Structure 1
Amino acid sequence: MAGILTNLRSTVIAGFVLALALMIFYVYGQYSASSHIGEALGTTAFWAFIVRWAHVLCGIMWIGLLYYFNFVQIPNMPNIPDEQKPAIGKVIAPAALWWFRWGAMGTIAFGIILAALNGYLVDAYLLGFTDGGASTIIGIGMWLGTIMWFNVWFVIWPNQKIALGIVEAPAEDKPKSARTAMLFSRTNTLLSIPMLFAMVINQNVF
């Protein structure tokens, strides 16, 4: 067991194997004994579930790192001795930003696929104007998520590349870019709260 847990790749693979075992157990409990897996694989609901699972996994990676940046890294940077700060900028931040931006990409991609599979993609992006308001709340959540994704890829990441010295830029541009990235990261933190509310409330009736 220690051999699995001391290697991140092995840990993640083991997690997916356990999830697969749970899926097989669930499918065998839901479908007739004659065609368990084949019957499940033939349903849109099954694939919508798989895509929703991927959507949530990517979302946890994305929002988790967003909150790490805003609740941990940024507030504590002033407390880090100057001689230690390059380790954050050259090692920790670039790695975290890689997972951050691709988590955002995975979340938006799987979210769009999920909405298409469930038949509400256009209605949601039109905020329910075409279905009597049934897709309004999920549409608001999708628009907020789309804005956040745009901020990650077209504002935060380009400015972080300048601030961290990943791309060549005049030295005087770095503080401005760092501030822009921080402000848009804070914007995403703000938007994440109503976005998650819209996503969760859409799954519940009360």
Structure 2
Amino acid sequence: MNDYAVLWDWLSFGVRWLHVVTAIAWIGSSFYFIALDLGLVKRPGLPEGVSGEEWQVHGGGFYHIQKYMVAPASMPEHLTWFKWESYSTWLSGFALLAVVYYAGADLYLVDRNVLDVSAPVGILISLASIGLGWILYDLLCKSPLGKNDTALMLVLYGILVAMAWGYTQLFTGRAAFLHLGAFTATIMTANVFLIIIPNQKIVVADLKAGRKPEPKLGLQAKQRSLHNNYLTLPVVFLMLSNHYPLAFATQFNWVIASIIFIIGVLIRHYFNTVHARKGNPHWTWGLAGVLFILIMWLSTVPKVLTGEEKLSAAGEVFVASTHFPAVRDTVLGRCSMCHAAEPGYDGIHIAPKNVKLDTDAGIAEHAREIYLQAGRSHAMPPGNVSGITEDERRLIVTWFEEAR
């Protein structure tokens, strides 16, 4: 039994679960506070320094919330910080990136038909690009351009479009989308870790020392928080995209990713406008729908195929196995009706997750997935629609474990 592959798959599942849980916590608190901030109302008779208040009802009780734009006159006895949701999301996300894309770089990260580099070089490119995002963003925010929110957002969008295209020239389509999400999410978490929380700590220290905090600290933190708010929905899409090859594995995948940022901004604009009691811009949903139809159309444009399918060194080991001919017959007979360049199964128009098992190279490169999902478990074929036998499953297990 190949315990390593099974344990690693469970590790991936566990880290993914942790990432989802922490992301829910971060997104939930972020959306709540943006809605709260936009819904604050300035009323006569508010305490000095209070920029607005709001009454809310939830869980059988009422909440009376007041916001001090800079800081209250004195330090509260109890202060709740919101930071670990963000930190935990990024740390668990990076762990998942390492477990899936770095440990499986030859399969998930590097596509030598796109850029012929080794796995270590691909990992270094990944790390450098993610760090570069924060550096560029932070320099722009601190430049004179940062004083003009509209101009700043347009420049930042241009950078995101460039990165969307650039990642597709470096990695697999799946990894390109994931990295664009990681690039953006790193900016968001760095905003919290390097700007928002440090600024708040300076304010707290000033209060304790009897000094009056600088208003610019709160304004800077608010700007970064608003950026995070508008970037959240595109990041969620990019993180989920690995399940949908029509998004990441088509010719205009980088254009699709670029449009997703616009759709995310439109949706957040609607909710932010409603929460601020400035109307109901329903047009945002109509435009978002049109853009979504556009990306559906873009996903159907045939991909221009270049080069021949190549086997990696690991793939050659699986093809060289004495069991490979029998395994190939099994996979071609039980799996390739869906997992093929032109699927023959009714209702399947593109290979699920872009996994194609109709060639020796495809079978070898996806040996681990075949082993886990059709050998060690009964996940594939779904409902065993193709009637794979237990003997055939055992053969897959033997093939993979002996080759490894």
1:151 maps to a residue whose letter is: N
**Corresponding residue for residue 36 of structure 2:** 72
Q: Which amino acid aligns with 2:221?
A: A
Match of 2:100 among 118, 122, 129: 118
Shift of 1:124: 5.0
2:18 is equivalent to residue 54 of structure 1 = yes
The structure in which a higher percent of residues are helix is 1
Higher relative contact order (CA 8 A, sep 6+): 1
Alignment of 1:25-64 (within 5 A): 42-64=6-28
Residue 199 of structure 1 and its aligned partner are, at CA, apart by 1.1
Q: CA deviation digits over 1:130-188, x for unaligned, max 9?
A: 434441111100010001010001111112233xx421264151x22111111110011
Q: Which residue in 1 is equivalent to 2:47?
A: 82
In terms of fraction of residues, the more strand-rich structure is 2
Equivalent residues of 1:124, 1:136 under 8 A apart: no
Matches within 5 A, 1:100-115: 100-115=82-97
Alpha-carbon separation, structure 1, partners of 2:96 and 2:227: 26
User: Following the alignment from structure 1 to structure 2, what is the Cα–Cα distance between the partners of residues 149 and 57?
Assistant: 16
> Deviation of residue 190 (structure 1)?
1.2
Q: In the superposition, relative to structure 1, how do residues 182 and 75 fare at CA in structure 2: closer, same or farther (>3 Å)? A: farther
CA shift in 2, pair 1:166/1:128, >3 Å: same
Matched with 1:166 is: 204
Give the whole-Å Cα distance in 2 for the aligned partners of 1:142 and 1:131: 14
- 1:59, 1:103 within 8 Å by CA — same for their partners in 2? yes
1:202 is displaced (CA, Å) by: 2.6
Structure 1 residues 142 and 168, CA, compared in 2 at 3 Å: closer, same or farther?
same
TM-score with structure 2 length normalisation? 0.35
The residue that corresponds to 1:191 in the other structure is: 231
Preserved CA contact (<8 Å) 1:62 1:104? yes
Instruction: Indicate the structure (1 or 2) with the bigger Cα radius of gyration.
Output: 2
Amino acid at match of 2:212: A
Match of 1:202 among 237, 242, 247: 242
Q: How many residues align?
A: 162
Distance 1:113 1:172, change over 3 A: closer
Aligned-partner residue type, residue 82 of structure 1: P
> Which residue is 2:182 aligned to?
142
Q: What RMSD over aligned residues (CA atoms) do the two structures have, in Å?
A: 3.3
Partners of 1:187 and 1:86 in 2: CA distance: 20
